[in-house]
Structure 1
Amino acid sequence: MGRFWSLLFLLVPVFGVGTFIVAATPNTLLVNHWLPENISETGGVIDGLFMFILWLTGIIFIGTGVALFWFLWKYDSERTTEPVKYMHGSHTLEVVWSILPAATLLFIAIFQMDAFADAKIRRPIQSAGPDGIEGTADDVPQPPLVEVTGRQFEWRIRYAGKDGLLYTTDDVHTVNELHIPVDEVVVVAIQSEDVLHSFFLPNMRVKQDVVPGMQQYVWFRPIRSGEFDIVCAELCGWGHYKMRGRLTVESRGQFDAWLQREFEEQERSEYTPVEDEE
């Protein structure tokens, strides 16, 4: 094969690992190409899980690349005249390289179960159920503060008004503009009006497929104010690239004032006075 090609093969893992190192190092040209800033209370757990899996798979990737390079280098056909010896299989090797990956995947699955449950299963509760004990099946879940409906190619957003309930006369409607209060657990109901979308808040570490005919829920607790991106992470048609929105995290007072202004403006736009006929 030639040792030139062996060295060329070695460049693949070297550049692959080097790219990750440079991207994760501050004060480099790629500083903004790593994970976006985390603003969620549980985001640190998700980032830690991501880094753990990245390190685990990275070590396996490097080890495999080094082993392949060593074989290419040592048994180069231009320098080795010894005839090749073919093996027709080894039950021991088959068992080993079947058990090791399976055990690794099982370990990852068990290791991430708690983080997955907090993000996808354990919806925040409003109060205990009739038995008066929290953590049981009859707990009353926290109602959603807002409903987000995905449609080609925008996010339709409905807020609960003063009564705190969705689907009542004081609901507030916006498009591609999501406001939430900081330092509070927020539950969002999501649904699709047409095709499959994916509701993605990169800074909140929240991503959930939006399936037509299903209403799903996501929840999070923002810990920092500011403006951030809302994107669709599922190819949903020709205008997928422009299906973006703005997430504004602000204090409870600012949120309530903004919601009241939106409600009043909505009321004015819906009311058209009729001039008296003379």
Structure 2
Amino acid sequence: MSTDTIAMRDIGKFRSARSELVNWTITELRKLDFKLRCHDWFVQHRVTLGVARGTRSPSVGKNNAGYPSIADDVSQSFRIRHIKRLLGFFFEKDIRYEPDMEESAVDFFMRYFKNDLEYFVIASSVHANSDEVGHYGDAADDQRDGDLIKGLVQSGLVRQFSYKKRFGGDPSSQQYAESVETEWGNITLMKVDDFPIESVRSLLVAKMVVYGLYGHCFMISLDWNLAFYPHDDFGFGVIGLTDNANVQVAHDFLAQADQLPGMYSIVRTPPTD
């Protein structure tokens, strides 16, 4: 299977969307990691929203691989105003983490787009740090993580390597940080239809929960000019790739997600300027 040449119904549209995503990634994601911007803002405003912050998945908030943290670089309100193409996201709101919440969120996504997934493109820089995967310290979670990563590596959806061997032993060094940043920006494009649907599902679940899994993961619809991304609050966010992105599709998706038990959606209307 080749990811260099992808036969799409509209190759020109595909190239345009890819260029848009790559440019957006370079100018936005390299400056401020997308998840941190969204969720740091959300953490600050969670009380205002009336949502209690609950017990989190073991992988949440852990970043031992040395990826630069920018949580305190600028004010939260400044950040959220500058995510111009963020159309919203949904997340868990329960007081305590319940088993399989991540799978419920992924299954909702898969059901909602079951008639369209074959036309989606995966834009991913997801990779597993073998120094960490399977070494969180909880036997059940480590077994789950190891099984997920083994299957994803075999399917070709995830690469696995040792950060220490590839980037060196000093996470505080500039060279290490730049190397990790480059790895995050190394986005590969793949057709969803080229993989078993269970492998795609496993990728989305793993992105939410696996300790030691890093990189960006977008599920892109070229028909709607939308990119959906799984996050470790057990839900999905939605980005408009272009000015004519189908905002209604994004908002309808989030409205349905808001009806899921234990889930809450934030819907954002993009600015007109």
TM range (shorter): under 0.3
More strand per residue: 1 or 2? 1
TM-score of the superposed pair, with normalisation by structure 1: 0.24
Larger Rg: 1
Which has the bigger relative contact order, CA under 8 A and spacing at least 6? 2
TM-score of the superposed pair, with normalisation by structure 2: 0.24
